[in-house]
């Protein structure tokens, strides 16, 4: 629990000199099927000093380290925080077709951009800090300064991304707002995969969420691919060697 409290402390340090902090993370990047989903969460210093953040944020962690029940419980709490205006949150997704067209990195950046656009458009970070010297009084009154937010993205910095940002390796285990984004992305994607499980029975999407478990790989070889499988991800699967009886040899 003490280590989890460090997430809030990390964000307080990152907040210095900024009015807000936006954490971004994704879910589903390594899956064999389904979309990739990203989420963005905006927090402020007031939120980080709030009763909820001080008393309850210790339960927040990298989504992979939480049970499904813990993630769902936190999701509902985040909904309440959004409704109260304490945080802002949004998610975005990239489809299987977009993954195939733009590759998984390009699709991940697309999902992250869509998540961020629900909070601020890229142009908000391009505005000048003060109005033109010869601006009219009306233009000066209508001037909106550059958004004073720092964006933290889990992992390495992204090249050719429309938002200025800082990459944080293992950010979902270091930053509270990134960890919150990881939970929102994971829960959102899990729910989408549950829907796909109903539309494409037999593959077990509701259990493995599209990841390459042994059960999923065996189902693909037995049933063939379906419309939500990523063809580019399946090539390696079908290229794996087989034993004398035709069974695929699975490697860890």
Give residue-wise pLDDT tens across range 135-152. Answer: 677 765 665 556 789 999
Residue among 72, 54, 29 nearest 233 (CA): 29
Q: Given the DSSP bridges, would you call strands 149-154 and 20-27 parallel, antiparallel or unpaired?
A: parallel
Per-residue model confidence as pLDDT tens digits over 2-28: 455 689 999 999 999 899 999 999 999
- Alpha-carbon gap, residue 123 to 108, rounded angstroms: 20
Domains and CATH numbers, the chain: 2-238 (3.30.420.10)
**CA distances (Å), 144 to each of 83, 90, 164, in order?**
25, 23, 18
The pTM score is 0.86
34-67 core/surface letters (b: 16 or more CB in 10 A; e: else) = bbbbbbbbbbbbebbebeebeeebbebbbbeebe
pLDDT at 249: 42
- Alpha-carbon gap, residue 227 to 225, rounded angstroms: 7
Per-residue model confidence as pLDDT tens digits over 204-249: 999 999 999 999 999 999 999 999 999 999 987 777 655 434 444 4
Question: Which is more confident, 139 or 110?
Answer: 110
pLDDT at 109: 98
């Amino acid at each position: 629990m003490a280590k989890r409290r460090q997430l809030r402390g990390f964000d307080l340090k990152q907040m210095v000199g900024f009015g807000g902090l936006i954490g971004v993370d994704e879910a589903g990047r390594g899956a064999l099927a389904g979309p990739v989903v990203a989420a963005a969460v905006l927090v402020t210093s007031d939120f980080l000093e709030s009763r909820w953040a001080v008393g309850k944020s210790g339960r927040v962690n990298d989504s992979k380290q939480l049970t499904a029940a813990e993630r769902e419980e936190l999701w509902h709490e985040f909904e309440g925080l959004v409704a109260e205006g304490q945080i802002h949150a949004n998610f975005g997704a990239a489809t299987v077709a977009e993954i195939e067209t733009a590759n998984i990195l390009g699709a991940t950046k697309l999902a992250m951009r869509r998540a961020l656009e629900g909070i601020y458009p890229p142009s908000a970070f391009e505005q000048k800090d003060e109005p033109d010297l010869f601006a009219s009084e009306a233009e000066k009154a209508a001037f909106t300064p550059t958004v004073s937010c720092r964006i933290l993205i889990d992992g390495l910095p992204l090249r050719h991304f429309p938002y200025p940002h800082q990459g944080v390796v293992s950010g979902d285990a270091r930053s509270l707002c990134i960890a919150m984004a990881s939970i929102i992305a994971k829960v959102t994607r899990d729910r989408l995969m549950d829907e796909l499980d109903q539309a494409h029975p037999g593959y077990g999407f509701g259990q493995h969420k599209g990841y390459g478990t042994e059960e999923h790989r065996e189902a693909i070889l037995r049933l063939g691919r379906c419309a939500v499988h990523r063809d580019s991800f399946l090539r390696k699967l079908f290229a794996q060697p087989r034993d004398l009886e035709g069974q695929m040899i699975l490697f860890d």
